[in-house]
Amino acid sequence: MANSVKRTPLYKQIEMYIYDHMRNNNWEEHHKLPSETELAEQFNVSRLTVKNAMQNLIDKGLIYRIQGKGSFISDQKGEPLLYESGPAEAKEKLIAYIVPLAKTMHALQMINGIEEQLTKQGYRLLLFKTYNSKEVEKQVLQEAIRYNVAGIIIYPVEGETYSEEILKLSLSSFPLVIVDRYLRGIETNCVYASNTKGAYDAVSHLLQSGHKKIGFVSTQINGTSSIEDRLAGYELALAEHNAPIEHRLRRTHFHLDQVNNIISTGSIEASVKHELQEFIGQNPDMTAIFAVNSPLGITVMEAASDMGIRVPEQLSVCFFDDFMFSDYSRIPPTCVDQQAYLIGQAAAKLIAAVIEDPNQERRKIEIPTILKVRSSTALCETKMNCAEC
């Protein structure tokens, strides 16, 4: 009697073929695999056999599928990545909101706008925080998927020019809305403030008050469209008012974590204050400063005060984003209000619409800003070195 030979099932042969290419580094992370048709022809099997093999690899987290694009090698080493949007009825009525921090008035107003609008439309909100870490953002995106959410609203980490996780979701037509900014090169639904116009209005206010030498202070610019657009608004206002655009009047490399120390601990980072004092001291003809956010704006005002420079008599200061009880601060600030509640409300409406029709045309919604003129800005004529204006 002949010895029976146990043959490897055909679908297992396909699995081993793909696994061997991965193990030998022939196919690296995010390499696109041959199509099911190509594999079926190569192994002389049916597409169903190939489909079973591919599904097993997905379940093991070795590959992931992007609807309409194909299958790819995963980098998750065991964590399945399958971003396919199913019908809304098949999912929980849950929406994930992913945000760097939730401590500022801006962040809290946006959360309220999202939550209240989603409640009206029959959804519940799951909140995730990334602490402005790209790695944490990647993890919570995957966690949100495991919760079987119907859609995701995300406030990306600062400096993010490209996110593979967001790209995968977007390409698979998963219901996704980005708030606060847009990601260049990635077609997504997004809702954000009129950053260029907001900065333009603030700097125009300073120029109309007689200032010509206006500083620009920001965190790192590259990769964050909202900051890039605020710089564009600053330059546009200067150009239209025939004021010089001088790079010496910029400080644009501050690290967000250092700047946000005032939010997390209530105290100003000493190194940031010291550098701003050097910046002010090196440019005595600078009569006004525009900052891209409230932590930087507050730090500028404190830095000037410690130097004996009076705001607004000797230095006018305005910035993006209001803060809690600002009207009652020692010097109520002139600031650009992003209308964060309206951004959140619009994002909630948009994600609900996308859930109903994931294949609809991607939309960018821009919410107008409001310039609130208070006591931190004044006419240049009231300043000591008026001849320099």
State the average pLDDT over residues 80-91. 44
Per-residue pLDDT reduced to its tens digit, 204-245: 999 999 999 999 999 998 778 999 999 999 999 999 999 999
78 pLDDT tier (thresholds 50, 70, 90): very low
Residue type, 320: F
Per-residue pLDDT reduced to its tens digit, 153-201: 999 988 755 677 888 888 778 899 999 998 887 789 999 999 999 999 9
Residues 176 and 60 in one domain: no
Tally of domains in the chain: 3
H-state helical runs in the chain: 10-23, 36-43, 47-59, 105-120, 134-146, 164-171, 195-208, 225-240, 256-259, 261-264, 270-282, 294-306, 340-356
**Which CATH number do you get for residue 97?**
3.40.50.2300
Kindly state the tokens that stand for 336. Answer: 């650009």
Whole-number pLDDT of residue 161: 58
Tell me: cis bond preceding 312? Omega within 30 of 0 counts.
yes
Alpha carbon distances (Å) from 258 to 138, 255, 262, 271:
23, 5, 8, 8
Residues 252 and 118 in one domain: no
- Domain of residue 106: give its range: 92-193+340-368
Whole-number pLDDT of residue 6: 42
Per-residue pLDDT reduced to its tens digit, 336-361: 999 999 999 999 999 999 999 988 89
**Residue 285 and residue 234: Cα distance in Å, rounded?**
18
Judge whether residue 335 has pLDDT over 80.
yes
Q: Which of 75, 100, 124 is the last residue of a domain?
A: 75
Per-residue pLDDT reduced to its tens digit, 288-334: 999 999 999 999 999 999 999 999 999 999 999 999 899 999 999 99
Q: Note whether residue 81 is domain-resident.
A: no
Q: Note whether residue 87 is domain-resident.
A: no
Whole-number pLDDT of residue 165: 82
Q: Would you say 349 and 120 are in contact if contact means Cβ atoms under 8 Å apart?
A: no
Q: Note whether residue 85 is domain-resident.
A: no
Residues 230 and 244 in one domain: yes
Residues 154 and 294 in one domain: no
